[in-house]
């Protein structure tokens, strides 16, 4: 049987579980498996959402720069999938406030 330390959820795992239960599956996935999985407690973040009309172009610009920096293909593919998901999202879009 495992120790209590092995069974304890990290704060990020707790957040992901709560978010998933509340219906925020994309955010929970990002916390569990994406870029936020390794985020440090005080690390600065910049978040783009599907409602932002500029988000797909910003991610595309990141892809172009990442390709020049030899970022692994799986990261580039993940970014392409994010663009596709943003473009398919049926919600209202607007320019950043």
User: Percent of the chain having pLDDT more than 90?
Assistant: 88
Residue 75 contacts residue 66 (beta carbons within 8 Å): yes
The string of DSSP codes covering 34-55 is SGGGG--TT-------TTBTTH
Condensed to tens digits (0 to 9), the pLDDT of residues 1-31 reads 555 555 799 999 999 999 999 999 999 999 9
In this prediction the pTM is: 0.81
Condensed to tens digits (0 to 9), the pLDDT of residues 61-80 reads 999 999 999 999 999 999 99
How far does Cα 2 stand from its chain's mean position? 31
Residue 93: pLDDT band by 50, 70, 90 thresholds?
Answer: very high
Residue 16 contacts residue 28 (beta carbons within 8 Å): yes
């Amino acid at each position: 049987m495992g120790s209590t330390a092995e069974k304890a959820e990290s704060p990020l795992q707790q957040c992901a579980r709560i978010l998933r239960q509340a219906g925020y599956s994309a955010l929970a996935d990002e916390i569990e498996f994406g870029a936020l999985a390794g985020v440090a407690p005080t690390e600065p973040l910049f978040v783009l959402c599907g409602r932002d009309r500029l988000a797909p172009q910003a991610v595309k610009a990141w892809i172009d720069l990442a390709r020049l920096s030899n970022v692994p293909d799986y990261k580039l593919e993940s970014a392409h999938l994010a663009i596709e998901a943003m473009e398919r999202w049926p919600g209202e879009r607007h320019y950043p406030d």
